[in-house]
């Protein structure tokens, strides 16, 4: 595919975990990827690694909880590449003190600011360009906790991920007229760095049986590469060894 014909994907939270895996998978499929996140050194490493494998990648530091920064980043991507064909909203977090007994207002707000508000800011920033293109794919990383309520993930994370699923379906109800389609990708446990923030981090054995980031990367690429007339509204995906069924997972 010629350089000028490459589709452009913006991946938030692209430095680690699911976002990184999505960026790698899309780049391998010929997409031009822009990864954003808070740590410039981590993002630079991602760009170098993708370039070493022949991919096209660039990076921009960003706090998705800052609406002005998000809008400026979207405009910068459009200025450099002329379009945004896919947005992968992968930036997200949870907090160690997450139960009703421990959560603080500050902690709750921190989760909402990134998992929900930040995701909304990014969608809002790309919609005008996608409407003008008459085409666009938005992949929102939700969670198993966005479908099944669990004590493990805490009220803030559970509430935001349920909201992400609802927001995704709301987006499809209105924006299909502009050729825009959105997917709520809801994974069960994935062996990513966010696991370290749990009150009781899972063992190495448990991590090995979880979904791996590359599994989600392939899923993101599957959704993004579907023809424009196809909307994959939602995917609920889990490890075969699902710890929630054993009573010790999300």
**Residues taking part in catalysis:** 157
CA gap 138, 9 in Å, rounded? 10
Closest to 197 (Cα-Cα) out of 84, 100, 98: 98
CA distances from 16 to 9, 91, 179 (A): 16, 9, 30
**CA–CA separation, 199 vs 95, rounded Å?**
9
């Amino acid at each position: 595919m010629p350089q000028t014909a490459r589709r452009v994907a913006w991946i938030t939270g692209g430095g680690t975990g699911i976002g990184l895996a999505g960026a790698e998978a899309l780049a391998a499929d010929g997409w031009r990827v822009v990864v954003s996140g808070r740590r410039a050194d981590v993002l630079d490493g991602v760009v170098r690694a993708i370039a070493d494998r022949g991919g096209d990648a660039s990076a921009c530091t960003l706090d998705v909880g800052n609406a002005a920064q998000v809008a400026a980043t979207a405009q910068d991507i459009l200025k450099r590449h002329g379009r945004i064909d896919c947005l992968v909203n992968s930036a997200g977090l949870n907090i160690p003190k997450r139960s009703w007994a421990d959560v603080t207002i500050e902690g709750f707000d921190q989760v909402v600011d990134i998992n929900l508000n930040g995701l909304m800011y990014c969608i809002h920033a790309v919609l005008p360009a996608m409407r003008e293109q008459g085409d666009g794919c938005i992949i929102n990383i939700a969670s198993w906790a966005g479908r099944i309520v669990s004590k493990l993930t805490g009220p803030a994370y559970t509430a935001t991920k349920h909201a992400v699923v609802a927001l995704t379906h709301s987006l499809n109800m209105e924006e299909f007229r502009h050729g825009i389609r959105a997917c709520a990708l809801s994974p069960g446990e994935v062996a990513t760095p966010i696991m370290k923030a749990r009150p009781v981090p899972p063992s190495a054995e448990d991590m090995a049986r979880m979904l791996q980031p590359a599994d989600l990367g392939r899923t993101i690429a599957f959704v993004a590469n579907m023809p424009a007339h196809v909307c994959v509204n939602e995917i609920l995906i889990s490890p075969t060894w699902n710890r929630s069924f054993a009573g010790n997972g999300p």
